[in-house]
Protein backbone atom coordinates (compact mmCIF):
# COMPACT_ATOMS: atom_id res chain seq x y z
CA UNK A 1 0.00 0.00 0.00
CA UNK A 2 1.19 3.52 -0.68
CA UNK A 3 -0.18 6.71 0.77
CA UNK A 4 -0.67 10.07 -0.92
CA UNK A 5 2.16 11.37 1.24
CA UNK A 6 4.57 8.84 -0.22
CA UNK A 7 4.64 6.32 2.64
CA UNK A 8 4.45 2.63 1.92
CA UNK A 9 3.49 -0.42 3.94
CA UNK A 10 3.41 -4.10 3.17
CA UNK A 11 1.25 -6.87 4.54
CA UNK A 12 0.15 -10.28 3.42
CA UNK A 13 -3.40 -10.41 2.03
CA UNK A 14 -5.64 -12.67 4.06
CA UNK A 15 -9.22 -13.61 3.32
CA UNK A 16 -10.43 -12.64 6.80
CA UNK A 17 -9.17 -9.89 9.05
CA UNK A 18 -7.98 -12.31 11.71
CA UNK A 19 -6.78 -14.91 9.28
CA UNK A 20 -9.58 -17.41 9.63
CA UNK A 21 -13.18 -17.42 8.57
CA UNK A 22 -15.24 -17.07 11.72
CA UNK A 23 -17.64 -19.89 12.33
CA UNK A 24 -19.87 -19.80 15.35
CA UNK A 25 -22.36 -22.50 14.50
CA UNK A 26 -23.31 -24.33 17.67
CA UNK A 27 -24.86 -27.79 17.29
CA UNK A 28 -28.58 -27.60 17.89
CA UNK A 29 -28.74 -23.83 17.63
CA UNK A 30 -32.06 -22.89 16.04
CA UNK A 31 -32.45 -20.18 13.47
CA UNK A 32 -34.33 -19.23 10.30
CA UNK A 33 -37.77 -18.14 11.43
CA UNK A 34 -38.62 -15.88 8.49
CA UNK A 35 -40.64 -17.11 5.53
CA UNK A 36 -41.74 -13.93 3.75
CA UNK A 37 -41.69 -10.16 3.76
CA UNK A 38 -44.05 -8.98 6.48
CA UNK A 39 -46.30 -5.91 6.53
CA UNK A 40 -46.82 -4.16 9.88
CA UNK A 41 -49.93 -6.14 10.85
CA UNK A 42 -48.00 -9.39 10.61
CA UNK A 43 -45.02 -7.97 12.49
CA UNK A 44 -47.26 -6.97 15.38
CA UNK A 45 -48.91 -10.39 15.37
CA UNK A 46 -45.48 -12.03 15.59
CA UNK A 47 -44.49 -9.76 18.50
CA UNK A 48 -47.66 -10.67 20.37
CA UNK A 49 -47.30 -14.38 19.58
CA UNK A 50 -43.74 -14.40 20.94
CA UNK A 51 -44.94 -12.73 24.10
CA UNK A 52 -47.74 -15.30 24.50
CA UNK A 53 -45.27 -18.14 24.07
CA UNK A 54 -42.53 -16.65 26.27
CA UNK A 55 -44.33 -14.62 28.93
CA UNK A 56 -41.50 -15.14 31.44
CA UNK A 57 -38.92 -13.65 29.10
CA UNK A 58 -40.83 -10.86 27.37
CA UNK A 59 -43.08 -7.84 27.71
CA UNK A 60 -44.92 -6.04 24.95
CA UNK A 61 -44.50 -2.29 25.28
CA UNK A 62 -47.11 -0.17 23.52
CA UNK A 63 -45.25 2.99 22.59
CA UNK A 64 -47.11 6.13 23.63
CA UNK A 65 -47.38 8.10 20.40
CA UNK A 66 -49.99 6.88 17.92
CA UNK A 67 -49.06 7.42 14.29
CA UNK A 68 -51.32 9.48 12.06
CA UNK A 69 -52.61 6.26 10.52
CA UNK A 70 -52.72 4.65 7.09
CA UNK A 71 -55.26 7.15 5.81
CA UNK A 72 -55.62 10.20 3.65
CA UNK A 73 -58.13 12.82 2.69
CA UNK A 74 -60.09 12.07 -0.48
CA UNK A 75 -59.41 14.17 -3.54
CA UNK A 76 -60.45 14.81 -7.12
CA UNK A 77 -59.08 17.17 -9.72
CA UNK A 78 -61.15 19.18 -12.19
CA UNK A 79 -58.69 20.86 -14.54
CA UNK A 80 -57.18 23.72 -12.54
CA UNK A 81 -59.25 22.92 -9.45
CA UNK A 82 -58.28 20.43 -6.74
CA UNK A 83 -61.00 19.35 -4.31
CA UNK A 84 -60.03 17.72 -0.99
CA UNK A 85 -62.42 16.24 1.55
CA UNK A 86 -62.29 17.53 5.11
CA UNK A 87 -62.93 13.99 6.38
CA UNK A 88 -60.42 11.23 5.77
CA UNK A 89 -61.36 9.02 2.84
CA UNK A 90 -62.08 6.16 5.21
CA UNK A 91 -64.34 8.38 7.33
CA UNK A 92 -66.68 9.51 4.59
CA UNK A 93 -64.41 11.40 2.20
CA UNK A 94 -64.44 8.56 -0.32
CA UNK A 95 -68.25 8.76 -0.50
CA UNK A 96 -68.24 12.33 -1.81
CA UNK A 97 -68.69 13.16 -5.48
CA UNK A 98 -68.71 16.38 -7.44
CA UNK A 99 -69.80 17.45 -10.92
CA UNK A 100 -69.42 20.64 -12.97
CA UNK A 101 -72.57 21.16 -15.00
CA UNK A 102 -73.25 23.30 -18.04
CA UNK A 103 -76.75 24.67 -17.28
CA UNK A 104 -77.54 24.72 -21.02
CA UNK A 105 -79.26 28.10 -20.72
CA UNK A 106 -78.36 31.75 -21.13
CA UNK A 107 -77.44 34.18 -18.38
CA UNK A 108 -77.26 31.70 -15.51
CA UNK A 109 -75.37 32.42 -12.25
CA UNK A 110 -72.68 30.20 -10.73
CA UNK A 111 -74.39 27.98 -8.16
CA UNK A 112 -73.25 25.24 -5.82
CA UNK A 113 -75.77 22.80 -4.36
CA UNK A 114 -75.14 19.97 -1.94
CA UNK A 115 -77.39 16.95 -1.92
CA UNK A 116 -76.19 14.51 0.69
CA UNK A 117 -72.74 13.42 -0.55
CA UNK A 118 -73.22 14.94 -4.03
CA UNK A 119 -71.85 18.39 -4.83
CA UNK A 120 -73.22 19.97 -8.01
CA UNK A 121 -71.60 23.07 -9.44
CA UNK A 122 -73.79 24.75 -12.02
CA UNK A 123 -71.49 26.98 -14.05
CA UNK A 124 -72.35 30.56 -14.97
CA UNK A 125 -73.25 31.45 -18.58
CA UNK A 126 -73.39 34.67 -20.57
CA UNK A 127 -76.14 36.00 -22.83
CA UNK A 128 -75.14 33.58 -25.57
CA UNK A 129 -75.15 30.58 -23.20
CA UNK A 130 -71.33 30.24 -23.14
CA UNK A 131 -69.73 29.26 -19.82
CA UNK A 132 -67.98 32.16 -18.07
CA UNK A 133 -67.00 30.76 -14.63
CA UNK A 134 -63.29 30.85 -13.97
CA UNK A 135 -61.47 28.35 -11.78
CA UNK A 136 -60.97 31.02 -9.13
CA UNK A 137 -64.71 31.78 -9.09
CA UNK A 138 -65.62 28.10 -8.83
CA UNK A 139 -63.13 27.61 -5.98
CA UNK A 140 -64.69 30.49 -4.05
CA UNK A 141 -68.20 29.19 -4.71
CA UNK A 142 -67.39 25.60 -3.71
CA UNK A 143 -65.74 26.72 -0.48
CA UNK A 144 -68.78 28.89 0.31
CA UNK A 145 -71.42 26.35 -0.70
CA UNK A 146 -69.81 23.02 0.21
CA UNK A 147 -67.17 24.12 2.70
CA UNK A 148 -68.46 21.76 5.36
CA UNK A 149 -67.50 18.79 3.15
CA UNK A 150 -64.54 19.84 1.01
CA UNK A 151 -61.89 22.46 0.45
CA UNK A 152 -61.22 23.61 -3.10
CA UNK A 153 -57.81 25.00 -4.09
CA UNK A 154 -56.04 25.97 -7.31
CA UNK A 155 -53.88 23.33 -8.99
CA UNK A 156 -50.23 24.04 -8.17
CA UNK A 157 -49.32 27.49 -9.54
CA UNK A 158 -52.43 27.96 -11.67
CA UNK A 159 -53.69 31.58 -11.50
CA UNK A 160 -57.34 30.49 -11.62
CA UNK A 161 -58.21 32.83 -14.47
CA UNK A 162 -59.05 30.15 -17.03
CA UNK A 163 -62.70 29.36 -17.80
CA UNK A 164 -63.78 26.00 -16.40
CA UNK A 165 -65.00 23.12 -18.55
CA UNK A 166 -67.96 20.98 -17.47
CA UNK A 167 -67.01 17.66 -15.84
CA UNK A 168 -69.07 14.54 -15.18
CA UNK A 169 -69.82 13.31 -11.69
CA UNK A 170 -66.47 12.31 -10.18
CA UNK A 171 -66.02 10.36 -6.98
CA UNK A 172 -63.39 11.65 -4.57
CA UNK A 173 -60.82 9.07 -3.51
CA UNK A 174 -58.02 8.65 -0.99
CA UNK A 175 -56.42 6.32 -3.59
CA UNK A 176 -55.43 3.84 -0.87
CA UNK A 177 -55.37 0.26 -2.07
CA UNK A 178 -54.69 -1.85 1.01
CA UNK A 179 -57.36 -4.44 1.76
CA UNK A 180 -60.05 -3.45 4.23
CA UNK A 181 -58.45 -5.47 7.03
CA UNK A 182 -55.52 -3.03 7.09
CA UNK A 183 -56.65 -0.54 9.71
CA UNK A 184 -57.15 3.10 8.70
CA UNK A 185 -56.91 4.19 12.33
CA UNK A 186 -53.85 5.73 13.98
CA UNK A 187 -51.41 2.90 14.60
CA UNK A 188 -49.79 1.75 17.82
CA UNK A 189 -46.10 0.97 17.49
CA UNK A 190 -44.96 -2.02 19.56
CA UNK A 191 -41.68 -2.90 21.20
CA UNK A 192 -40.87 -6.41 22.38
CA UNK A 193 -38.78 -6.36 25.54
CA UNK A 194 -36.69 -9.50 25.97
CA UNK A 195 -34.61 -10.55 28.95
CA UNK A 196 -34.59 -12.69 32.04
CA UNK A 197 -34.37 -9.55 34.23
CA UNK A 198 -36.44 -6.75 32.74
CA UNK A 199 -36.14 -4.43 35.71
CA UNK A 200 -33.62 -1.91 34.44
CA UNK A 201 -30.72 -3.60 36.23
CA UNK A 202 -29.16 -5.01 33.03
CA UNK A 203 -27.50 -3.23 30.12
CA UNK A 204 -30.25 -2.23 27.70
CA UNK A 205 -30.03 -2.80 23.95
CA UNK A 206 -32.42 -1.15 21.52
CA UNK A 207 -32.88 -2.48 17.98
CA UNK A 208 -35.30 -0.54 15.82
CA UNK A 209 -36.07 -0.97 12.14
CA UNK A 210 -37.98 0.46 9.21
CA UNK A 211 -37.78 4.14 9.95
CA UNK A 212 -37.74 4.07 6.15
CA UNK A 213 -40.84 2.31 4.89
CA UNK A 214 -39.46 0.67 1.75
CA UNK A 215 -36.65 -1.13 3.58
CA UNK A 216 -38.54 -4.40 3.82
CA UNK A 217 -35.64 -6.57 4.99
CA UNK A 218 -35.01 -4.52 8.11
CA UNK A 219 -37.98 -5.67 10.25
CA UNK A 220 -37.07 -9.25 9.39
CA UNK A 221 -33.63 -8.75 10.95
CA UNK A 222 -35.23 -7.80 14.26
CA UNK A 223 -37.86 -10.56 14.20
CA UNK A 224 -35.24 -13.21 13.37
CA UNK A 225 -33.16 -11.91 16.27
CA UNK A 226 -36.07 -12.05 18.72
CA UNK A 227 -36.98 -15.57 17.62
CA UNK A 228 -33.42 -16.84 18.01
CA UNK A 229 -32.99 -15.31 21.46
CA UNK A 230 -36.22 -16.78 22.76
CA UNK A 231 -36.17 -20.19 21.09
CA UNK A 232 -32.53 -20.90 21.99
CA UNK A 233 -32.76 -19.66 25.57
CA UNK A 234 -33.55 -23.09 26.99
CA UNK A 235 -31.05 -25.02 24.88
CA UNK A 236 -28.05 -22.75 24.35
CA UNK A 237 -25.94 -21.51 27.30
CA UNK A 238 -24.55 -18.60 25.26
CA UNK A 239 -28.05 -17.34 24.48
CA UNK A 240 -29.07 -17.81 28.08
CA UNK A 241 -26.13 -15.69 29.15
CA UNK A 242 -27.23 -12.90 26.80
CA UNK A 243 -30.72 -12.86 28.25
CA UNK A 244 -29.39 -13.01 31.80
CA UNK A 245 -27.11 -10.04 31.27
CA UNK A 246 -29.01 -7.73 28.92
CA UNK A 247 -32.42 -6.10 28.56
CA UNK A 248 -33.38 -5.99 24.88
CA UNK A 249 -35.93 -3.71 23.24
CA UNK A 250 -36.94 -4.63 19.70
CA UNK A 251 -39.09 -2.38 17.50
CA UNK A 252 -39.64 -4.20 14.19
CA UNK A 253 -41.31 -1.26 12.46
CA UNK A 254 -40.99 2.34 13.57
CA UNK A 255 -43.03 3.59 10.61
CA UNK A 256 -46.05 1.29 10.07
CA UNK A 257 -48.13 3.76 8.05
CA UNK A 258 -45.38 4.27 5.52
CA UNK A 259 -44.72 0.52 5.51
CA UNK A 260 -48.33 -0.21 4.62
CA UNK A 261 -48.15 2.40 1.89
CA UNK A 262 -44.99 0.76 0.60
CA UNK A 263 -46.62 -2.69 0.60
CA UNK A 264 -49.96 -1.76 -0.94
CA UNK A 265 -49.66 1.52 -2.84
CA UNK A 266 -46.18 2.67 -3.77
CA UNK A 267 -43.30 0.36 -3.04
CA UNK A 268 -40.65 3.12 -3.15
CA UNK A 269 -42.20 4.97 -0.18
CA UNK A 270 -39.43 6.06 2.20
CA UNK A 271 -41.15 8.52 4.54
CA UNK A 272 -44.17 8.36 6.82
CA UNK A 273 -47.62 9.17 5.42
CA UNK A 274 -48.28 12.51 7.06
CA UNK A 275 -48.78 15.28 4.56
CA UNK A 276 -47.43 18.64 5.70
CA UNK A 277 -47.52 20.17 2.22
CA UNK A 278 -49.38 23.40 1.46
CA UNK A 279 -52.25 23.15 -1.04
CA UNK A 280 -50.02 24.06 -3.99
CA UNK A 281 -48.07 20.81 -3.41
CA UNK A 282 -50.99 18.68 -2.25
CA UNK A 283 -52.72 17.66 -5.47
CA UNK A 284 -53.28 13.93 -5.92
CA UNK A 285 -50.42 13.49 -8.39
CA UNK A 286 -47.95 14.59 -5.69
CA UNK A 287 -49.17 12.08 -3.11
CA UNK A 288 -46.26 9.63 -3.43
CA UNK A 289 -43.91 12.44 -2.38
CA UNK A 290 -45.65 13.53 0.83
CA UNK A 291 -44.49 12.56 4.27
CA UNK A 292 -41.61 13.15 6.67
CA UNK A 293 -38.28 11.32 6.60
CA UNK A 294 -38.42 9.89 10.12
CA UNK A 295 -34.61 9.61 10.26
CA UNK A 296 -34.25 13.36 9.64
CA UNK A 297 -36.84 14.39 12.24
CA UNK A 298 -34.67 14.07 15.37
CA UNK A 299 -33.33 16.89 17.49
CA UNK A 300 -29.52 16.68 17.38
CA UNK A 301 -27.53 18.05 14.45
CA UNK A 302 -30.81 18.76 12.68
CA UNK A 303 -31.76 20.80 9.63
CA UNK A 304 -33.08 23.37 12.08
CA UNK A 305 -29.66 23.51 13.72
CA UNK A 306 -27.99 24.21 10.35
CA UNK A 307 -26.78 20.69 9.53
CA UNK A 308 -26.58 19.16 6.07
CA UNK A 309 -28.51 16.24 4.61
CA UNK A 310 -32.16 16.99 5.26
CA UNK A 311 -34.60 19.11 3.30
CA UNK A 312 -37.19 21.77 4.14
CA UNK A 313 -39.13 20.82 0.99
CA UNK A 314 -42.17 18.72 1.92
CA UNK A 315 -41.84 16.75 -1.32
CA UNK A 316 -38.19 15.83 -0.79
CA UNK A 317 -37.17 12.28 0.11
CA UNK A 318 -35.28 13.71 3.09
CA UNK A 319 -37.93 16.18 4.29
CA UNK A 320 -37.14 16.90 7.95
CA UNK A 321 -40.75 17.76 8.87
CA UNK A 322 -42.06 21.08 10.18
CA UNK A 323 -39.89 20.84 13.30
CA UNK A 324 -37.73 18.54 15.40
CA UNK A 325 -39.73 15.60 16.77
CA UNK A 326 -42.83 16.75 14.90
CA UNK A 327 -43.63 13.11 14.12
CA UNK A 328 -44.90 10.44 16.52
CA UNK A 329 -42.54 7.91 14.90
CA UNK A 330 -39.43 9.76 16.08
CA UNK A 331 -40.93 10.63 19.46
CA UNK A 332 -41.53 6.93 20.12
CA UNK A 333 -37.86 6.05 19.60
CA UNK A 334 -36.69 8.82 21.91
CA UNK A 335 -39.33 7.90 24.47
CA UNK A 336 -37.69 4.48 24.78
CA UNK A 337 -34.28 6.05 25.40
CA UNK A 338 -35.73 8.49 27.90
CA UNK A 339 -37.84 5.93 29.75
CA UNK A 340 -35.37 3.04 29.94
CA UNK A 341 -32.17 4.71 31.03
CA UNK A 342 -30.37 1.39 31.17
CA UNK A 343 -30.27 1.37 27.34
CA UNK A 344 -26.61 1.79 26.41
CA UNK A 345 -26.57 0.28 22.90
CA UNK A 346 -28.81 0.90 19.91
CA UNK A 347 -28.94 -0.42 16.37
CA UNK A 348 -30.84 1.55 13.76
CA UNK A 349 -31.48 -0.99 11.02
CA UNK A 350 -31.61 0.33 7.44
CA UNK A 351 -31.05 -0.97 3.93
CA UNK A 352 -29.24 -1.19 1.62
CA UNK A 353 -25.58 -1.03 0.70
CA UNK A 354 -23.55 -2.91 3.30
CA UNK A 355 -22.57 -0.11 5.64
CA UNK A 356 -21.83 -0.23 9.33
CA UNK A 357 -21.74 3.20 10.90
CA UNK A 358 -21.79 5.32 14.04
CA UNK A 359 -21.72 9.00 15.07
CA UNK A 360 -21.05 11.64 14.07
CA UNK A 361 -23.72 11.44 11.42
CA UNK A 362 -24.01 15.07 10.41
CA UNK A 363 -21.98 18.15 9.67
CA UNK A 364 -22.81 21.83 9.33
CA UNK A 365 -22.70 23.42 5.91
CA UNK A 366 -20.41 26.19 7.11
CA UNK A 367 -16.91 24.75 7.25
CA UNK A 368 -18.14 21.15 7.10
CA UNK A 369 -18.01 21.05 10.88
CA UNK A 370 -19.15 17.66 12.14
CA UNK A 371 -20.87 17.00 15.42
CA UNK A 372 -18.16 16.34 18.04
CA UNK A 373 -16.07 13.25 17.38
CA UNK A 374 -16.24 10.58 20.07
CA UNK A 375 -13.09 10.40 22.20
CA UNK A 376 -10.21 8.27 20.97
CA UNK A 377 -11.17 5.57 23.46
CA UNK A 378 -14.79 5.66 22.34
CA UNK A 379 -13.82 5.55 18.68
CA UNK A 380 -11.60 2.58 19.40
CA UNK A 381 -14.52 0.86 21.10
CA UNK A 382 -16.82 1.59 18.16
CA UNK A 383 -14.28 0.18 15.76
CA UNK A 384 -13.40 -2.88 17.81
CA UNK A 385 -17.07 -3.63 18.28
CA UNK A 386 -17.67 -3.17 14.56
CA UNK A 387 -15.15 -5.88 13.80
CA UNK A 388 -16.86 -8.32 16.17
CA UNK A 389 -20.28 -7.57 14.68
CA UNK A 390 -19.07 -7.70 11.09
CA UNK A 391 -17.40 -11.05 11.68
CA UNK A 392 -20.68 -12.43 12.97
CA UNK A 393 -22.41 -11.18 9.81
CA UNK A 394 -19.70 -12.75 7.68
CA UNK A 395 -20.06 -16.11 9.40
CA UNK A 396 -23.47 -16.69 7.79
CA UNK A 397 -22.55 -16.71 4.10
CA UNK A 398 -19.27 -14.92 3.80
CA UNK A 399 -20.63 -11.40 3.40
CA UNK A 400 -17.87 -8.88 3.95
CA UNK A 401 -18.54 -5.32 5.07
CA UNK A 402 -15.88 -3.24 3.38
CA UNK A 403 -13.51 -1.34 5.67
CA UNK A 404 -14.30 1.83 3.72
CA UNK A 405 -17.98 1.35 4.57
CA UNK A 406 -17.26 0.92 8.27
CA UNK A 407 -16.96 4.10 10.30
CA UNK A 408 -18.65 7.34 11.30
CA UNK A 409 -21.57 8.20 8.99
CA UNK A 410 -19.96 11.45 7.93
CA UNK A 411 -16.75 9.67 6.95
CA UNK A 412 -18.15 6.71 5.00
CA UNK A 413 -21.50 7.85 3.59
CA UNK A 414 -22.87 11.38 3.98
CA UNK A 415 -24.31 13.91 6.38
CA UNK A 416 -27.78 12.99 7.63
CA UNK A 417 -29.07 15.95 9.63
CA UNK A 418 -31.41 15.00 12.46
CA UNK A 419 -30.85 11.24 12.41
CA UNK A 420 -31.75 9.09 15.38
CA UNK A 421 -28.35 7.52 16.15
CA UNK A 422 -26.86 10.98 16.72
CA UNK A 423 -29.58 11.94 19.18
CA UNK A 424 -29.16 8.65 21.05
CA UNK A 425 -25.40 9.15 21.30
CA UNK A 426 -25.14 12.86 22.04
CA UNK A 427 -28.19 13.28 24.27
CA UNK A 428 -28.35 9.87 25.96
CA UNK A 429 -24.81 8.49 25.75
CA UNK A 430 -26.08 5.41 23.91
CA UNK A 431 -23.67 3.70 21.52
CA UNK A 432 -25.86 4.27 18.48
CA UNK A 433 -25.04 2.27 15.36
CA UNK A 434 -26.58 2.09 11.92
CA UNK A 435 -26.67 -0.97 9.72
CA UNK A 436 -27.30 -0.62 6.03
CA UNK A 437 -28.07 -4.29 5.43
CA UNK A 438 -27.86 -5.83 1.96
CA UNK A 439 -24.29 -5.68 0.71
CA UNK A 440 -23.59 -5.25 -2.98
CA UNK A 441 -23.23 -8.45 -5.00
CA UNK A 442 -20.51 -9.09 -7.57
CA UNK A 443 -21.86 -9.67 -11.03
CA UNK A 444 -19.23 -11.70 -12.90
CA UNK A 445 -20.88 -11.03 -16.26
CA UNK A 446 -20.57 -7.27 -16.03
CA UNK A 447 -17.62 -7.35 -13.60
CA UNK A 448 -19.31 -4.79 -11.37
CA UNK A 449 -20.72 -4.65 -7.86
CA UNK A 450 -24.48 -4.32 -7.99
CA UNK A 451 -26.82 -3.04 -5.29
CA UNK A 452 -29.41 -5.49 -4.02
CA UNK A 453 -32.18 -2.89 -3.74
CA UNK A 454 -34.74 -2.18 -1.04
CA UNK A 455 -36.91 -5.20 -1.84
CA UNK A 456 -34.71 -7.92 -3.32
CA UNK A 457 -36.28 -11.24 -4.29
CA UNK A 458 -37.22 -12.86 -1.01
CA UNK A 459 -34.49 -15.48 -1.26
CA UNK A 460 -31.90 -12.70 -1.01
CA UNK A 461 -33.86 -10.69 1.59
CA UNK A 462 -34.15 -13.84 3.67
CA UNK A 463 -30.39 -14.39 3.64
CA UNK A 464 -29.78 -10.77 4.60
CA UNK A 465 -32.15 -11.15 7.54
CA UNK A 466 -30.26 -14.22 8.74
CA UNK A 467 -26.79 -12.69 8.48
CA UNK A 468 -27.68 -9.35 10.03
CA UNK A 469 -29.59 -11.05 12.84
CA UNK A 470 -26.25 -12.69 13.63
CA UNK A 471 -24.71 -9.23 13.66
CA UNK A 472 -27.39 -7.91 15.96
CA UNK A 473 -26.90 -10.82 18.34
CA UNK A 474 -23.16 -10.10 18.31
CA UNK A 475 -23.98 -6.55 19.39
CA UNK A 476 -26.10 -7.91 22.23
CA UNK A 477 -23.04 -9.99 23.14
CA UNK A 478 -20.97 -6.80 23.36
CA UNK A 479 -23.63 -5.30 25.60
CA UNK A 480 -23.51 -8.41 27.80
CA UNK A 481 -19.79 -7.84 28.30
CA UNK A 482 -20.03 -4.08 28.64
CA UNK A 483 -18.85 -2.33 31.76
CA UNK A 484 -19.31 1.39 31.98
CA UNK A 485 -15.92 3.13 32.23
ZN1 LIG B 1 -33.02 3.92 5.53
pLDDT digits (tens, 9 = 90+) for 267-300: 999 999 999 999 999 999 999 999 999 999 999 9
CA 467 to chain centre: 21
Angle at 412 between CA 406 and CA 415, to 5 degrees: 130
Q: What are phi and psi of 178, to 5 degrees?
A: -65, 150
- Residue 19: predicted pLDDT: 45
> 190 CA distance to ligand 1 centroid (A)?
19
> 153 CA distance to ligand 1 centroid (A)?
34
Interval 396-425 mean pLDDT: 93
Helix (H) or strand (E) holding 441: strand 441-443
Q: Which one is predicted more confidently, 402 or 63?
A: 63
Confidence category of residue 28, pLDDT binned at 50, 70, 90:
confident
pTM to 2 decimals?
Answer: 0.94
Is residue 126 classed exposed, middle or buried when 0-12, 13-18 and 19+ CB atoms within 10 A define those classes?
A: exposed
> 215 CA distance to ligand 1 centroid (A)?
7
Q: Which one is predicted more confidently, 63 or 398?
A: 63
Question: Are 86 and 149 within 8 A, CB to CB?
Answer: yes
CA gap 4, 144 in Å, rounded: 71
Length of the chain as a residue count: 485
> 71 CA distance to ligand 1 centroid (A)?
22
41: Cβ contacts below 8 Å, ≥ 6 apart = 181, 182, 183
Q: What are phi and psi of 221, to 5 degrees?
A: -60, -45
β-strand pairing of 111-115 with 118-122: antiparallel
pLDDT tens digits for 55-95?
999 999 999 999 999 999 999 999 999 999 999 999 999 99
> 437 CA distance to ligand 1 centroid (A)?
10
> 364 CA distance to ligand 1 centroid (A)?
21
> 126 CA distance to ligand 1 centroid (A)?
57
Question: Are 84 and 73 within 8 A, CB to CB?
Answer: yes
> 469 CA distance to ligand 1 centroid (A)?
17
> 69 CA distance to ligand 1 centroid (A)?
20
Residue 318: strand, helix, or coil: coil
CA gap 75, 97 in Å, rounded: 10
> 19 CA distance to ligand 1 centroid (A)?
33
> 31 CA distance to ligand 1 centroid (A)?
25
- Residue 27: predicted pLDDT: 80
> 330 CA distance to ligand 1 centroid (A)?
14
> 306 CA distance to ligand 1 centroid (A)?
21
Helix (H) or strand (E) holding 407: strand 406-408
CA gap 353, 361 in Å, rounded: 17
pLDDT tens digits for 241-263?
999 999 999 999 999 999 999 99
pLDDT tens digits for 118-176?
999 999 999 999 999 999 999 999 999 999 999 999 999 999 999 999 999 999 999 99
> 449 CA distance to ligand 1 centroid (A)?
20
Interval 368-374 mean pLDDT: 95
Is residue 413 classed exposed, middle or buried when 0-12, 13-18 and 19+ CB atoms within 10 A define those classes?
A: middle
> 91 CA distance to ligand 1 centroid (A)?
32
> 211 CA distance to ligand 1 centroid (A)?
7
β-strand pairing of 406-408 with 355-358: parallel
> 436 CA distance to ligand 1 centroid (A)?
7
Amino acid sequence: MTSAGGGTAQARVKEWPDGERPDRTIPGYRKDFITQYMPPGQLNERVKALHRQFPQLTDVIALPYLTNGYRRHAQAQFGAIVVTSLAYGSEGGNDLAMELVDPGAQGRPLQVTVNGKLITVSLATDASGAITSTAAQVITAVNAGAGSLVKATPYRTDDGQGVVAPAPLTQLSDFLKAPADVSREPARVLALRIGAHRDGSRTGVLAYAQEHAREWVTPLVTIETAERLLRNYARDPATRRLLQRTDIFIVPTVNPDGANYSFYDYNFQRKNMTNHCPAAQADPAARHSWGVDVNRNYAVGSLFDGYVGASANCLSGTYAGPGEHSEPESRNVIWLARTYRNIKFAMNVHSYGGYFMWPPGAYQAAGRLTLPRPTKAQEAYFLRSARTIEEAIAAERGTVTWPQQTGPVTDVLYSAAGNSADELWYDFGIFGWDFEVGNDIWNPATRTWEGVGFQPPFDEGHKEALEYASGLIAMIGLAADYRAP
